[in-house]
């Protein structure tokens, strides 16, 4: 496999995939920035994107009247595109900020010590400049929406700012990640209606539980290093009881999602996506081996499948509302 050669380190960055198309497309001097933004690991922005797309689809099919034009029952393509660009930009900015805050911690963890900042591939000044550029791209996207959505998006920065420090003072840093990564559950609805209702709030609560669950899987990769350096996580807190906790977290997420759907009166076929997502979550729990880091990473990444299933279910509900008068 092709290896990445970087300043101060021979061989690839430990948690960056070598041979990725990003490294073939970008000049070598941009590789460390790609690693700061995790452009070579799209799972992060997919997981940030899903609550946005769910919320946009929920808003589009909410209170649907059978026979309405299909375009009004599906989320606007422009909103989906804006959320996609915004998720990539803000996930990159968040990762860059997290690496700036965690530089000393990352230097003590085997999986992260070869990242651009602890390995000296970029300076802190360069990383801050890159963070600002990504944040400006996210702001440009946010300004495409109404005033309420813009204000709501700006408020999310408070949670984003706190998250990297959470592992220092609580056993529940994944909760703070959930607050940040689930914010899109509010944004999609706000972009459509320029206000909030109970349905997107319930969707937000459910997404928080989902994020805690999948990031616990991710945290099990680093639990030994985390324990040695005093970093806290739900992986360490749950330990051998992780499966039982995941049952509660994933089950609670699905319950919140179902009540959100009912509150928004989305067409019944949307629930098929929740059933399929629930089956996928159950499989994650059934086969989980918390002492197998490679498997934990695979199961973490598989949560994008959960995102697709719920999103496609909501789209299917909109389509059903459109065609149902013909049956």
Among 154, 164, 211, which Cα is nearest to 187's? 154
Is 7 inside a domain boundary?
no
**Residues spanned by the domain of 121:** 43-326
CA angle 114, 120, 124 (to 5 degrees): 115
Is 2 inside a domain boundary?
no
Q: What is the mean pLDDT of the chain?
A: 90
Is 203 inside a domain boundary?
yes
Q: How far is CA 259 from CA 151, 195, 199, 202, 290, in A?
A: 26, 19, 8, 7, 31
Q: Supply the CATH number for residue 239's domain.
A: 1.10.357.140
Work out the angle between the directed axes of helices 77-101 and 124-142 (0-180°, nearest 10).
160
Is 311 inside a domain boundary?
yes
In the prediction, which pLDDT does 11 show? 36
pLDDT band (50, 70, 90) for residue 115: confident
Quick one: what percent of the chain has pLDDT higher than 70?
93
Among 261, 257, 254, 246, which Cα is nearest to 296's? 246
Is 67 inside a domain boundary?
yes
Is 187 inside a domain boundary?
yes
Distance of CA 205 to the CA centre of its chain: 14
Mean per-residue pLDDT, 258-266: 97
In the prediction, which pLDDT does 10 show? 39
Is 82 inside a domain boundary?
yes
Q: How many domains in the chain? A: 1
211: which 2 tokens?
């994020």
In the prediction, which pLDDT does 231 show? 85
Is 102 inside a domain boundary?
yes
DSSP one-letter string for 115-160 = STTTTTSS-HHHHHHHHHHHHHHHHHHHTTS-HHHHHHHHHHHHHH
């Amino acid at each position: 496999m092709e290896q990445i050669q970087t300043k101060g380190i021979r061989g690839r960055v430990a948690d960056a995939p070598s041979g990725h198309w990003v490294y073939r497309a970008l000049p070598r001097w941009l590789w460390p920035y790609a690693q700061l933004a995790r452009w070579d690991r799209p799972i992060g922005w997919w997981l940030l994107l899903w609550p946005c797309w769910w919320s946009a689809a929920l808003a589009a099919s909410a209170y649907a009247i059978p026979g309405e034009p299909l375009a009004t029952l599906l989320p606007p393509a422009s909103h989906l595109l804006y959320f996609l660009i915004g998720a990539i930009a803000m996930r990159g900015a968040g990762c860059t900020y997290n690496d700036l805050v965690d530089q000393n911690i990352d230097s003590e963890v085997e999986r992260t010590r070869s990242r651009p900042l602890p390995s000296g591939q970029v300076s802190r000044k360069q990383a801050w400049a890159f963070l600002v550029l990504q944040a400006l791209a996210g702001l440009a996207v946010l300004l495409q929406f109404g005033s309420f959505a813009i204000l709501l998006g700006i408020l999310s920065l408070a949670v984003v700012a706190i998250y990297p420090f959470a592992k220092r003072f609580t056993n529940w840093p994944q909760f703070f990640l959930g607050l940040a990564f689930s914010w899109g559950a509010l944004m999609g609805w706000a972009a459509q209606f320029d206000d909030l209702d109970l349905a997107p709030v319930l969707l937000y609560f459910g997404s928080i539980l989902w994020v805690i669950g999948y990031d616990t899987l991710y945290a099990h990769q680093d639990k030994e290093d985390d324990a040695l350096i005093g970093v806290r996580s739900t992986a360490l807190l749950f330990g051998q009881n992780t499966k039982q906790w995941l049952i509660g977290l994933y089950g609670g997420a699905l319950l919140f999602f179902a009540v959100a759907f009912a509150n928004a009166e989305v067409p019944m076929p949307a629930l098929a996506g929740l059933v399929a997502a629930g089956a996928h979550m159950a499989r994650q729990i059934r086969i989980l081996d918390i002492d197998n880091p490679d498997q934990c990473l695979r199961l973490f990444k598989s949560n994008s499948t959960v995102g697709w299933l719920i999103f496609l279910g909501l789209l299917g509900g909109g389509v059903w509302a459109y065609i149902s008068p013909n049956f």
